[in-house]
Amino acid sequence: MSEPTPADVTLRCRFCTAKNRVPVSRALEDLNKVRCGSCGAGLLRVSGEPLTELKNEDLSHPWDHAALDKLKAIPMADTIIQKLMGSTLDKLSHFNLMAGSVRISPEQAPRLWKLYLEAAGRIGVDPPPLFLVQDPRPNAFTLGAGQPQVGVTSGLLEIADDRCVLGVLGHELTHVRLGHVTYRTLVWLLLTGALKVLDMFGLAALVIKPIQIALYRWYQMSELSADRGELLTTGSLETFVRTHMILSGGGGKWLPEMNVAAFIDQAHEAERLRDGDILLWVMELLSSNHRTHPLPVWRVHHGLKWAQTPAFFELLAGDPPDGILER
């Protein structure tokens, strides 16, 4: 059973070292307003300052670990995956992006490039190449094996503001930091049917059904880890929820009338519905085997749950305690 959400967290000011008792719920309304009671300085790093103490274990969701362990426990799974993920596929994904999209740089879409560098600096990642892909569907992705590449679609930039885009870029770069890219690329190849090209080499048949199911399950759980990176990149729960609300229902002219607090309530209600009905729980579990991403409201629920922990606040404060942070 998980620990109850704390009403307050104690944070030490990194400027004057004074200890401050901070109400969690009020702080999450606007993390910019959390100030030291002694010197008045902001207690939390929410405006692009690098999170230099950040470790991979701070980002990695325990379900991500568990799902990956189950995948690796399948006999020959790692051998098969490494055989499929050779340098040829790395070159193919790079060529497809270079030939069919726009590579972002200081000279090409400099505003987007600046956001990308901010996200990379925030979570401590050497930024791989970034590409803008013409696609009306709002999305972002990370591909590659030895050489990761990040892509965002034109559809995402059409409906998301700069802060939301910053968070999405941080999400993708978290996949890079945590070493998710090889397995995620294999899932992408399975979903797009690209592995059919390997039939001539007799390799596609090696991706047996148990490995596919385990890959899809892990793919979903890896999103929860990347969501943590997204939250830390912007330092804003409101931006995180708004992003997933937009991805769920769109934006455009209706965005000013869409309510973040109401979407959080919806996420909690959906979680209660699932937990309160065994049939819904089973159906959701079965259908999840054919999805790559967890349901948006489920991600909001788990993102909020983590944002309410001392671990989240301590990472933003730059004052992690001795010992293991609460997961």
Least confidently predicted of 105-109, 166-170, 297-301: 297-301
Both structure tokens of 260 = 């973040």
Question: What Å distances lie between residue 266 and 97, 100, 133, 296, 302, CA to CA?
Answer: 37, 39, 32, 11, 13
Buried b (16+ CB within 10 A) or exposed e, 85-95: beeebbeebbe
Nearest to 229 by CA among 135, 317, 124, 144: 124
Both structure tokens of 264 = 């959080």
Both structure tokens of 247 = 């991805």
Query: Binning pLDDT at 50, 70 and 90, where does residue 153 land?
Result: very high
d(CA 90, CA 134): 21
Both structure tokens of 127 = 């930024």
Q: Convert the pLDDT of each residue in 154-191 to its tens digit.
A: 999 999 999 999 999 999 999 999 988 878 877 777 76
Q: Where are the domains of the chain?
A: 55-253
Q: Which range among 173-187, 289-303, 308-322 has the greatest average pLDDT?
A: 173-187
Spatial contact of 158 and 138, defined as CB atoms under 8 Å apart: yes
Q: Which amino acid is at 74?
A: I
Both structure tokens of 243 = 């992003």
Spatial contact of 290 and 304, defined as CB atoms under 8 Å apart: no
Which element (helix H / strand E) includes 149?
strand 149-153
Q: Convert the pLDDT of each residue in 74-91 to its tens digit.
A: 666 566 666 666 566 678
pLDDT of 326 strictly over 50: no
- pTM, whole model, 2 decimals? 0.87
141 beta partners: 151
d(CA 180, CA 123): 15
Backbone Cα Rg of the chain: 20
For the chain, give the number of residues. Answer: 327
